[in-house]
C-alpha cells in the first residue's frame, strides 16, 4: 500500500477540492444546490479516487481509479467553465481552479504512464 498523502497528484487534487468549496461559497444563493453540488461531488472525487486506488495491489486496478479521478477532473473543468460563462463565483477562484485542473490532468496522465510500465 502506498502513502497517498505523499503523492503530488493527491495533494493537488486535495487543493482543487478546497478551492472548489471556496468557489461555491461565492456563488449566488440561487445556485447553491444545483451546479454547486455537482462541483463539490466531482472535486471530492479527484483526491478520493487517487487515495482509494493507492490501496489496490495491482497497477491495473490502481490505474482504473486514476482513470476515474481523471474523468472527474474533466467533469469539474466543464463545470468551472459553465460557472465562468454564467459569471458565477469569484473570477480569481475560477481562473485558479482551471489552472489547477490543467496541471492535475497532466500529472495524472504522467503518473498513469509511470505505474503501467
Mean pLDDT of the chain: 95
Place of cell 460557472: 83
Q: What pLDDT score was predicted for residue 1?
A: 52
Residue 86, SS3 per DSSP: coil
Q: What pLDDT score was predicted for residue 29?
A: 87
**Whole-model pTM above 0.75?**
yes
Burial class (CB in 10 A: 0-12, 13-18, 19+), 21: middle
- Residue ranges of domains in the chain: 4-115
**Maximum separation of any 2 CA atoms in the chain, in Å:** 48
8 Å CB contact between 108 and 80: no
The better pLDDT of the pair 101, 33 is held by 101
Q: Going by CATH, does the domain composed of 4-115 fall within 1.20.120.450?
A: no
Condensed to tens digits (0 to 9), the pLDDT of residues 45-83 reads 999 999 999 999 899 999 999 999 999 999 999 999 999
Amino acid at each position: 500500500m502506498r502513502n497517498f498523502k505523499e503523492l503530488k497528484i493527491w495533494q493537488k487534487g486535495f487543493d482543487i477540492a478546497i478551492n472548489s468549496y471556496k468557489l461555491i461559497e461565492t456563488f449566488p444563493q440561487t445556485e447553491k444546490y444545483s451546479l454547486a453540488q455537482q462541483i463539490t461531488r466531482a472535486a471530492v472525487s479527484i483526491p478520493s479516487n487517487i487515495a482509494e486506488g493507492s490501496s489496490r495491489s495491482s497497477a491495473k486496478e490502481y490505474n482504473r481509479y486514476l482513470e476515474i479521478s481523471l474523468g472527474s477532473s474533466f467533469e469539474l473543468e466543464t463545470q468551472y467553465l459553465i460557472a465562468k460563462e454564467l459569471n458565477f463565483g469569484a473570477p480569481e477562484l475560477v481562473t485558479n481552479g482551471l489552472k489547477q485542473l490543467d496541471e492535475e490532468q497532466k500529472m495524472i496522465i504522467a503518473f498513469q504512464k509511470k505505474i503501467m510500465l
